Chain A
Amino acid sequence: MSYAKPHAGVQPVRHQWNRIPVSEIGFSSPTRLENGKLFIHIDELAELLQSDPNIGDVRFEIARPGESVRIIPVKDVIEPRLSLIPGYPGFPGVLSAWDPDAGGVPSGEIASLSGMVVTTVGSIVGFQEGLIDMSGPGARYSLFSGKLHLVLDITVKEGTKRHDHEKTVRMAGIKASDYIARSVLNGPLPSGSRETLTNPEYPGSPGSPKRAGRNGLPRIAYLYMLQSQGLLHDTYYCGVDVKTMLPRRIVPTEVLFGAIVSGNCVSACDKNTTYHQQNNPIILELLRRHGTDWDFVGCVITNENVTLGDKQRSSTLSAELIASLSPDGVIVSKEGFGNPDADLMMNCSKIEAHGIKTVLLTDEFAGQDGASQSLVDSHPKADAIVSTGNANEVIVLPPLEKVIGDDRVITELAGGSNKCRLPGGSVAIELQALIGSTNQLGFERISSRFK
């Protein structure tokens, strides 16, 4: 007999996050971590990945910070993590079954490798995949230039349909991360940093504070918008395509476990890679100072669908869910650009209509000359905006010594064009083409202002 377990109740969900640093990557057998050096048995990993019949070939490469290396076209970036909680798997609902509505998220430990990531590249699937430069002027725009990369260069079998191609590559990256984490983090953990993150209480629990914040602290909520516009523009929560979902609360530390996985390369600059989701800095900061500088009252995830009806419904439901947490203010982060600007404005105006203050994180598409209007939609209540930069601004990237992947596609990337190659091998390309450069979860320091 199965029954819904009672929710966490009065005790908030607590997770201990162990971060084990990696200082170097090499290929050798067996897969192991020795004094901070990660060795990977690539034949074993290749065999694991090739159990997916769609995979034609996988090649492995390493990229290090400071190297003259360009990785292109990037599909996803993932940080290897291992859930140490029996019964609650990493990438829940993706690698193994997990239904967030059949039981609560249990408290416990999680371990991750920090300083290294798994990055997937491969023959171009869509227009909007991007690049990572490990050195040079492009490197300062993304935190990924500071990571060690295990790059999977994946070729699918001929004739694979686009939807299957995307899924194959997505799953390969996750499986590879999981393989590394299980190989290396199972057992006594090497030394690293450790922190305890305590989630907001379930709003209905007895004793959970309502309107007046504890000790006069401001009550803050977070509305987390996820891209859900179709092939190459999708995101998954516990394996469920977010476009089929209604807005819902999550336990904020679920993101550590890979509960939100990226299936989109919606425009390299403002796509949330799985890494970005796993390390959501808004959630982490709100948790770290919860109870001292503010009361973090909860996090709601919502989608960005392609019909007006869906946008209206999701924004109404999100606003109501947020309002039920009784916050004084809400941070709203967007993913992607263009018609999601409409979702952003609806979310903002409906939350503000409840008397709750909003701050929005968004990038801009103000044209290469910066003279154009940055967003396609607007609302007078959107009076507090943090800009993560104009994605149309052009930068010149010099040729780098090594390309992992295929850089002939650079003119096809969003932000490239058939005019972008310069004599001498440089490319003049929009920021749009650099993975994570204008990320709207707020990882980076770039912004834009009127000149």
Chain B
Amino acid sequence: MAKEIERAGIPVAHVCSIITISQTVGANRIVPAVAIPHPLGNPKLPLAEEKELRRNLLKKAFAALQTPVEEQTVFS
């Protein structure tokens, strides 16, 4: 899906757990997430830490959107 949205002209940051799939399918800006059942969370952490984790993942996504890339890039 990332590819099609980008093809239409909108930059996309793809936050996903299994980045090898994202790489194969072709998204350009990839942000590795935590795990499949909770990509932007971690139920093992106390809430405050979990929110901090989520904030940092999103900030990486924003950083990815502001970074020029030539080819598929993973922002970890």
A and B touch in the complex (CB under 8 A): yes
Binds A, one of B15-23, B46-54, B62-70: B15-23
B20 engages A345 (CB within 8 Å): yes
Query: Size of chain B's interface in residues, with CB distance under 8 A?
Result: 12
A342 x B34 contact (CB < 8 A): no
**A339-B18, A342-B18 known; A308-B32 Cβ under 8 A:** yes
Considering residues A311, A345, A377, A378, which has the most beta carbons from chain B within 10 angstroms of its beta carbon?
A377
Contact digits for B1-31, partner A, Cβ 8 Å, 1 yes 0 no: 0000000000000000111110011000000
Q: Judging by beta carbons under 8 Å apart, are A229 and B21 in contact?
A: no
Query: Could you tell me if B24 and A307 are in contact, using CB atoms closer than 8 angstroms?
Result: no
For the complex, count residues of A whose C-beta is within 8 A of B. 14
Task: Return chain A residues, CB-CB under 8 Å to B34.
Answer: 307
| Bound-complex Cα distance A341 to B20 (A) | 10
In the bound complex, residues from chain A placing their C-beta under 8 Å from that of B21 are 339, 341-342, 376-377
A200 shortest CB reach to chain B, Å: 32
Minimum CB distance partner of B38 in chain A = A306
* CB of A230 closer than 8 Å to a CB of B: yes
Distance, CA A339 to CA B37, complexed state (A): 12
Q: Is the interface of A mostly helix, strand, loop or mixed?
A: loop
Alpha-carbon gap, A377 to B26, bound state (A): 11
| Complexed CA–CA distance, A308 and B39 (Å) | 11
Interchain CB contact (< 8 A) of B35 among A307, A376, A377: A307
Asked if A307 meets B17 with Cβ closer than 8 Å, knowing A229-B36, A230-B37, A376-B25, the reply is: yes
- Contact, CB under 8 Å: A311 / B37: no
The answer on a CB contact under 8 Å between A346 and B20 is yes
A346 surroundings in chain B (CB, below 8 A): 20
| Nearest CB on B from A306, distance (A) | 4
CA distance A345 to B25 in the complex (A): 14
Chain B residues with CB under 8 Å of A342's CB are 18, 20-21
Task: Tell me the B residues contacting A by CB distance below 8 Å.
Answer: 17-21, 24-25, 32, 34-37
Q: List 27 A-B contacts (CB under 8 A).
A: A230-B36, A230-B37, A306-B17, A306-B35, A306-B37, A307-B17, A307-B34, A307-B35, A307-B36, A308-B17, A308-B18, A308-B19, A308-B20, A308-B32, A339-B17, A339-B18, A339-B36, A341-B21, A342-B18, A342-B21, A345-B24, A346-B20, A376-B24, A376-B25, A377-B20, A377-B21, A378-B24
For the complex of A and B, 4 pairs with smallest distance between CB atoms: A306-B36, A307-B35, A339-B18, A306-B35
